[in-house]
Amino acid sequence: MEVRLRAGEILYEIERREGYANLILRSILPSLDLSLKEKKLITELVYGILRWEMTLDEIWKRYVKYPNYLTQWAKILLRMAVYHVYFIKNTNIPVAMNEIVEISKIKAKKEKSLINAVVRKISSERINIEDFPEDIKYSHPSWILEELEDYLGKEATIEIAKWNNSPSFTTIRVNTLKTTKEELKEFLKKDGVKVRDGYLVSQALIIEEGIPFENYHLFKEGFFTIQSEASMLTSIILNPKPNERIADLCSAPGTKSTHLAEIMENKGEILSIDINKSRLKLVEKNSKRLGINIIKTLNSDILALPEDLNGTFDKVLLDVPCTGLGVIKHKPEIKWRRKREDIYNLSKLQYSMLEKAVKLLKKGGEILYSTCTLTWQENEGVVLSFLQKNPSFYFKPFTLKDKEFPGILRILPFLYNTDGFFLSLLKNEE
């Protein structure tokens, strides 16, 4: 019973704190006296229930007269019951249902009789999910599907929804200052970690099966860092050179800053800027772990940067705050917290940040604008509006995997096997 109880407690904490599953799991799982297999089941339950929340709710609510009056714990347990019946293969349904009822006696005492009755109905009847409307069938709010369809078309929207609901995986970036990809692969394999090469980036490895990384010696010794391939592309396309001066804006926790430093062979200077002082400490911590000493940090709002920084950088990386619709696969909470108006509010902020960021560049400098979302307003809308008002800037073409792009790259997750991203490389005239 402990596995399902702990999964429920984590789901409750995510809701209560408006936290993210990856961070809360990372803080709680290591302290649990459970086997790796049991921890994997907790992880599957947490992510699966978050991904399929809308579909799960549609099913259990059919058996409850006043669903809105249930406590959060009751809803979590009913979602868990539906998830076991509809989405987990090779599970002992009677055992799972009995444990859920037993947990209700601890966490939802007033609703235990209702939960017991509903759980029995859930496990004895099957509803055809294929008959549901698309938003419920794919467990995505209708506004997200509408925005994606307007931007990318119907077929791509369905593929993205399916991708978002499939199990996530971990991608790591080899620290080329300490090792090579082939050497790290051998180290990992010796420790029983199953890996394969990434799809887009030469220094990327995908972990197929392994161990928690927080206490893993190769991670602590700085041989690699966790980062999606789409995120790695921001630094690769910006292509900083050794001894250049680079600014990384909205930089915490430093994943991109440290990648820039590795590409630069730890030569030159990187100013890593972020508004969040506590998260900025993670930049320093990660730099130290990876053996990087060219990164300096600055705690500042991008819109209030000191003017003496203007015109002093060869290149700037601006990965702006966004709606995050490209990273729903490993941050499923985004689906339930974002609203359509966030797109328009954030696009205004993004434009202001881009206008401020370009002032940091020297003449002939380059800026990489990126988001981890898939909306026109936050991507092409921002960049094209900026170019229209700033004629001294233009798209700089770049090459990726022997294919040339005209200064813009849109990463669709199901095509590239990574996060959904938008990247645009802009250059200032000499």
**pLDDT tier for residue 293 given thresholds of 50, 70 and 90:** very high
- Does residue 164 register a pLDDT over 90? yes
* 2-17 helix and 21-28 helix, angle to the nearest 10 degrees: 130
User: How large is the average pLDDT for residues 236-258?
Assistant: 97
**pLDDT tier for residue 60 given thresholds of 50, 70 and 90:** very high
What integer pLDDT is reported at residue 91 of this predicted model? 87
- Range with lowest mean pLDDT among 49-53, 89-93, 385-389: 89-93
Distance between CA atoms of 82 and 74, rounded to whole angstroms?
Answer: 13
What integer pLDDT is reported at residue 178 of this predicted model? 97
What integer pLDDT is reported at residue 406 of this predicted model? 96
- Residue-wise pLDDT for 136-152, tens only, equals 999 999 999 999 999 99
What integer pLDDT is reported at residue 61 of this predicted model? 97
Six token digits for residue 283 = 């930049």
Q: Is 401 left (phi over 0), alpha (psi -120 to 50) or beta?
A: left
Q: What predicted TM-score, i.e. pTM, was given to this entire model?
A: 0.94
Could you tell me where the beta strands, DSSP code E, fall in 292-429? Answer: 295-299, 313-319, 361-371, 393-395, 398-400, 403-405, 408-411, 421-428
Residues annotated catalytic, as ranges:
372
What integer pLDDT is reported at residue 95 of this predicted model? 95
- Does residue 90 register a pLDDT over 90? no
Q: What structural domains does the chain harbor?
A: 2-137 (1.10.940.10), 230-428 (3.40.50.150)
| Intra-chain end-to-end CA distance of the chain, in Å | 66
What integer pLDDT is reported at residue 429 of this predicted model? 86
Q: 208 exposed, middle or buried (CB, 10 Å; 0-12, 13-18, 19+)?
A: exposed
- Looking up tokens 């900083």, which residue turns up? 240
**pLDDT tier for residue 14 given thresholds of 50, 70 and 90:** very high
What integer pLDDT is reported at residue 401 of this predicted model? 87
Distance between CA atoms of 315 and 248, rounded to whole angstroms?
Answer: 9
Q: Are 204 and 172 in contact (CB under 8 A)?
A: yes
User: How large is the average pLDDT for residues 308-327?
Assistant: 98
- Residue-wise pLDDT for 187-243, tens only, equals 999 998 999 999 999 999 999 876 777 789 999 999 999 999 999 999 999 999 999
- Residue-wise pLDDT for 106-118, tens only, equals 999 999 999 999 9
**pLDDT tier for residue 26 given thresholds of 50, 70 and 90:** confident
